[in-house]
Structure 1
Amino acid sequence: MEQNISTSLESLPFIKTNAGPKDGEQWIERLKEEYMLLIQYIQMNKEEDHDWFNVESNADGTKWNGKCWYIHNFVRYEFDLQFEIPATYPATPIEMELPELDGKTHKMYRGGKICLDIHFAPLWAKYQPKLGIAHALATALGPWLAAEIPVLADQGIIKPNM
Structure 2
Amino acid sequence: MEPSVKESVSRIPLLRTKAGPRDGDRWTARLKEEYASLIAYVENNKASDSHWFQLESNPQGTRWYGTCWTYYKNEKYEFKMNFDIPVTYPQAPPELALPELEGKTVKMYRGGKICMTTHFFPLWARNVPYFGISHLLALGLGPWLSIEAPAIIEKGDLKPSGAAAVPAMALQRTITPGIVAGMTGAGPSGSGGEERGE
Q: TM-score range by the shorter chain?
A: over 0.9
Note if 1:90 corresponds to 2:82. Answer: no
1:12 CA drift (Å): 1.2
Q: SS of the residue aligned with 1:31? A: helix
TM-score by length of 1: 0.96
Within a 5 Å distance, the mapping from 1:115-130 to structure 2 comes to 115-130=115-130
Where do 5+ consecutive residues of structure 1 fail to align? none
Note the aligned Cα RMSD (angstroms): 1.2
Inter-CA distance 69–133: structure 2 relative to 1 (3 Å threshold):
same
Note if 1:16 corresponds to 2:20. Answer: no
Partner of residue 137, structure 1:
137
Inter-CA distance 28–120: structure 2 relative to 1 (3 Å threshold):
same
Within a 5 Å distance, the mapping from 1:1-162 to structure 2 comes to 5-162=5-162
* 1:34-61 deviation per Cα after TM superposition (whole angstroms, max 9, x unaligned): 0011111111111111100010000100
Aligned partners of 1:8 and 1:139 also within 8 Å = no
Inter-CA distance 4–114: structure 2 relative to 1 (3 Å threshold):
farther
Looking at structure 1, the residues matched to 129 and 145 of structure 2 have their Cα atoms a distance apart, in angstroms, of 25
Where do 5+ consecutive residues of structure 2 fail to align? 163-198
1:7 CA drift (Å): 3.0
Aligned partners of 1:45 and 1:51 also within 8 Å = yes
Extract structure 1 runs of 4+ deviating beyond 4 A: 2-5
Aligned partners of 1:18 and 1:90 also within 8 Å = yes
Looking at structure 2, the residues matched to 3 and 54 of structure 1 have their Cα atoms a distance apart, in angstroms, of 24
Inter-CA distance 140–43: structure 2 relative to 1 (3 Å threshold):
same
Percent identity reads 51
Aligned partners of 2:99 and 2:111 also within 8 Å = yes
Q: Which has the higher contact order (CA 8 A, sep 6+)?
A: 2
Aligned partners of 2:84 and 2:95 also within 8 Å = yes
* 1:132-157 deviation per Cα after TM superposition (whole angstroms, max 9, x unaligned): 00010000000000010111111111
* 1:6-33 deviation per Cα after TM superposition (whole angstroms, max 9, x unaligned): 3343221210111110100000000001
